[in-house]
Each structure stands twice: as structure tokens, then as C-alpha cells.
Structure 1
Amino acid sequence: MTTIDTNAFETPGRGRGLLDVFRYRYLLRLLIGKTTSLRYRNSVLGWFWSYVRPTVQFLVYYLVVGQIMQMHRSVESFPLYLFSGIVVVNLFNEAFSAATGSIVSNKALVRKIYLPRELFPIAAIVGAFIHFLPQLAVLLIVAVFLFGWVPTFASIGLILAGLVLVLAFILGIGLFFSALNVRYRDASNVVEIIRTIATWSSPILYTWIMVYDITENARWIFNLYMANPITVAVEFFHQAFWETTVSAADRHGWPPDMMWHVLAAVAIAIFSLIVGQYVFRRSERTFAQDL
């Protein structure tokens, strides 16, 4: 009787999770190209929308918060402070939303062929990051030519650290909610709530000092607030762009115990990756049936 060695075979429909992303790089590039090409298909302005939307958002916030609520009087160079925080939150909101809907929007591929399902949320996040780059370019130009910002190794390091932190956090919760969204379409509504909370729970329309002052009798609230990876990433951008362009007397400096807050934010991002991958792996077995 002939025996067949099955060690070289893999279980159909099962992969190695995020590790398969490196193995299927070619498919990832195709999905990223599809995501970016379809984004503004049949659009008159096309890629120009990547500049229009954040510009309009910035102007609305600046007029309401900066001028009407007079924040520009208490925060020197408030436009740069506002803009350097908005770009981080915009990246989170857009990438998180795209990752959540990535499996459902690619249901035709999911139901017909097998490929690592993690490729879909990752491609969505990379696509959102590509469309974030024009905003970052505008921020750099504005900071250099209007506010005299001079890049340093420290500022560039803070920018990169903020991006890595927020992207890792997005990937973790993106995996979690993209899996949840396949079976429970209510997940998209929860994502919208989280996006709203993310916009207002990060120091872009106000300063961390304001939060610190009102939590004097409940300092644990401030510590919980600062442990948010988005908040830490926003502060990294503020330190990289805004702090270096204002006078010493008007700088806010780092929040108290910032090192512990950074470690907590990193731990949360890693935890979200572990939980997100676990839930995604458990749920992907029934993606085709649920879709």
C-alpha cells in the first residue's frame, strides 16, 4: 500500500496570519493598487480631494475653535498646532474605517478563492496611508515656509514613532472590527462612534494642560487619557512640529510621566494586535459563508 507524505501540504483555507503578508507580497501590491485606483474613479477632482477634505476640515475647526472660541490667543501658532494634530487623527479615522469594511467590500474575492484574509485590511490601511501623504506634505510645507520649522533628527524620529504607533494600533483594531463586520454589520456604526471619540479625545482642539487641570482630583483619568495611542501620537507630532516653532515661554513641554504614558500606549497597541489577530483568525473560517 502506497503512503503519501502530507507534510508538504497545508490545510486549505488556513495560513499563518500576518506572517503570510510577506509571503504574498505580490498580491498585497495588487490589492493596494486596486484600492488606490478605485478610490477616486470617475471623480472630477480625483486625487485633489486628498487636499480639499482636510483643508476644509482645518478651516472649519480653526474658525470655530481658533477664532470664535479664541483658542488662538492661548496657543501661539495655533494653526500649526491644530494642523499637526488633525493629520494624525485623520489618518486614524480613514484607515480604521477602510480596514473595517475591507473584507465586506472584497467579498467576491473572499468567496471564490483563498488568499490570506489579512491582506485586505492591510491593503486598506496602506491605501489610506498613501492618501495621507499629501496631507503630511502640506503640513511640512506650511511648517517650513510659514512657521520657520527646521527639521532635526529628533523631530523626524518623533514623526516616525508617532506614525508607527498609530498604524500598529489601527492594524490591531482594524483586524478585530473587520472580522466583526462580516457577521455583524452593526460594527460599522460602532466604528463611526469610535471615530468621533478619537477626534475629540485627542489634544488637537485643546491642549493636554486643560485636561490635566480639570483632572486634578482624579489624576487616573488623565493617565488613562494619555495612555491612548492616538493621543501619544498627536503629542509626538506636536513636539516635532509645533514646540520647536514657538517661544520657550509658550511651549507646553511633555506631559508629566510621559515615558510611562508612551509605554502604556505601546502596550495597548501590541495588545490590540494580538487580540485583533486572534479574533480575525477565529472568524475567518466562516467569512465565505457569512458573506
Structure 2
Amino acid sequence: MRVDIGDAAVLEEPGRSRGLLDVFGHRHLLSLIVRKEIQIRYRGSIFGWLWSYVKPLVQFLVFYVALGVFLGLNKSIDFYAIYILAGITIVTFFNEAFSNGTRSLVDNAALIKKIYLPREMFPVSSMFVALVNTLPQIAVVLVIAVFFGWAPSIGQLGAIILGLIIIAVLSTGLGMLFGAVNVTFRDAQSFVEIIVMCAVWASPVMYHWDMVASKVPPWLFTIYCLNPLTPAVELFHYGIWFPLHPRDAQPLPDLWLFSGLALVISLVILIFGQFVFRRLEGRFAQDL
């Protein structure tokens, strides 16, 4: 490709990519892919977007009655249904973005082999699709919390946003990493399914963090807190469940420190995922 700059001519290699920078340089294309994936999700559905609001509402009722009332978990954790629903919402965002990002290149093999476009576009779009699907769930959780007297501070609202940012960065990095490997080795997809299955138990979703702190050595609890999912889940608990809890409730120790470390770790994973993606990108068309 020849690009004229004044009197000079610069030869630019066709299809040369700048990685994630090119993705956000093609924002219109990114929005088209995201819109297409969302439309496919609700194609043939009578109620469409309504299902995004019905599912978390039904989950709340099930958790409240089956776990909170019948199993008596409301006695150990106040507002247990809101506690578990807040955690599941952010973990579901991670699971959907990570899983779909891993499959995104294989699912779009026909497009990748026909035309050139930044291949990072596919795992990034998977993250945005997952985010769009998560927002109605967050809205339902917040409405339920308001019904029970939710009155958050600015810091608690900021905690919810920070939790979303951590998961968005983490899932995009992992999606690029495993998505690139999955093109050649489809075992990666099965490995991701195991990670996704364990994610809800590797973070304080079904239980409170102090149950872990009381059972494991301090060094192991620190490793547990360094898992980016743990601070992300606790940020959602801090923003949604904590304002409803009695004043003696304690958030995760050093929550903001571990949240900052989670963001740094997620950024490192994103950079590493981009590095592996760029190294394997030349084989995509051949292996697909």
C-alpha cells in the first residue's frame, strides 16, 4: 500500500496491525459486530430484551426462597439473596466474556479467511456483548436493593464501576490469550470451560470472605485475594450489599489495595494476551 505524505511516499505493509489500537480505531466496525451478536442472541424471541430482566429476577426469588428461607442462609449472611446475586452478576459477566472471547476467532473463521480486519476485534467485541447483556442484570439487582433500602455513597457506586473495569480488562486479556491458542489447539476451549466452572467458587460469591480467612493460613488467603475475581466480586458486594448490611459488617481487608492490584494484574494479563495473540496471528487463516 502506498501512502503519500507531502512529497514523500511511504510504503505500508498490507494488513499490518497495531493490535488493540486498531480495534478502537475501527469503532464503527466494532459497534456493528457487537450489534450483530446482540441481534443474533434475541433472534426469533418474542420477548427479546425482556428476558435479560426476567432471568435475574427469577434468580433472586429462587435464592431468597430456596437458599435464604429453606436453608436458613439469611441467618448467617443478612440479605443473602442480594449478596449472592450481586456476586453472580459480576462473575457471569466474566464467564460470558471469557468463554465467548475464546471461541470468537473460531466462530468467525469464514470472515477471518476472507478479509483483513484487526483480529483482536472479535474477543474485544465478545467482552462488549457480555457487558451489554450484564447491564440489565445489574439494573434488576439495583432495583431490588432499592426496594430493601439501598442508599449507596459515591465511593460505593465507584466500587461497582471499578469492578466492571477489572473484569472487562481481565476477560479481554484472557479471551485474546486463549482465543489465539484455541485456533490451533481446540483443547483450550475445554480448559476454559473448567476455569469458568470453578470461577464462582474461587471468589466469595456463595460464601463470605471471612469463611476462607478463618480456614486457611494468612499467606494462602493473600493469594486468594490476589485473584482479580475476588476483589471484583467484593467491590460489587461493597457497592450493592454493604449499604444494606448492619454497621458492624466488614468489607474485604485492604479492599482498595487488592482492587488496585487486581487492575494491575488484569492489565498485565491483557498485555501478555496481546503479545501471544500477535505471535500466533500469522497462523490464524491457515489453521482455521
TM-score, scaled to structure 1: 0.90
Q: Deviations over 1:224-266 (max 9, x none)?
A: 11111111011111111111112213x1x23333344223312
Number of the residue aligned with 1:76: 78
User: Partner amino acid for 1:75?
Assistant: I
Distance in structure 1 (CA, Å) of the matches to 2:141 and 2:71: 23
Pairing 1:270–2:267 present: yes
Q: 1:7 to 1:197 in 2, by over 3 A?
A: farther
SS at match of 2:186: coil
Q: 1:47 to 1:219 in 2, by over 3 A?
A: same
Q: Deviations over 1:186-236 (max 9, x none)?
A: 111111111111111111110001000001xx2111111111111101111
Distance in structure 2 (CA, Å) of the matches to 1:189 and 1:255: 32
| Equivalent pairs, count | 283
Pairing 1:245–2:244 present: yes
Q: 1:134 to 1:240 in 2, by over 3 A?
A: same
Equivalent in 30, 33, 57 of residue 31 of structure 1: 33
Number of the residue aligned with 2:179: 178
Work out the percentage of aligned pairs sharing the same amino acid: 46
Matches within 5 A, 1:102-141: 102-141=104-143
Matches within 5 A, 1:45-124: 45-62=47-64, 65-124=67-126
- 2:56–2:141 CA contact under 8 A, matched in 1: no
Number of the residue aligned with 1:151: 152
Q: Deviations over 1:45-103 (max 9, x none)?
A: 43233234444545555555434543211111111111111110111111111111111
Distance in structure 2 (CA, Å) of the matches to 1:202 and 1:67: 23
SS at match of 2:43: coil
Q: Deviations over 1:107-128 (max 9, x none)?
A: 1110000000011111111111
User: Partner amino acid for 2:41?
Assistant: R
Number of the residue aligned with 1:9: 11
Q: Let me know the Cα RMSD of the aligned residues.
A: 2.0
Equivalent in 275, 280, 289 of residue 277 of structure 2: 280
Deviation at 1:150, TM superposition (A): 1.6
User: Partner amino acid for 2:271?
Assistant: I
- 1:84–1:139 CA contact under 8 A, matched in 2: yes
Distance in structure 1 (CA, Å) of the matches to 2:181 and 2:63: 33
In the alignment, structure 2 segments of 5+ residues that lack a partner are none
Number of the residue aligned with 1:189: 190
SS at match of 1:203: coil
Deviation at 1:28, TM superposition (A): 0.8
Deviation at 1:23, TM superposition (A): 1.5
SS at match of 1:46: coil
In the alignment, structure 1 segments of 5+ residues that lack a partner are none
Deviation at 1:10, TM superposition (A): 2.5
Deviation at 1:105, TM superposition (A): 1.0
SS at match of 1:104: helix
Q: 1:64 to 1:212 in 2, by over 3 A?
A: farther
Distance in structure 1 (CA, Å) of the matches to 2:202 and 2:61: 20
Distance in structure 1 (CA, Å) of the matches to 2:257 and 2:21: 30
Distance in structure 1 (CA, Å) of the matches to 2:9 and 2:170: 36
Number of the residue aligned with 1:161: 162
Number of the residue aligned with 1:213: 214
Distance in structure 1 (CA, Å) of the matches to 2:11 and 2:28: 22
- 1:13–1:114 CA contact under 8 A, matched in 2: yes
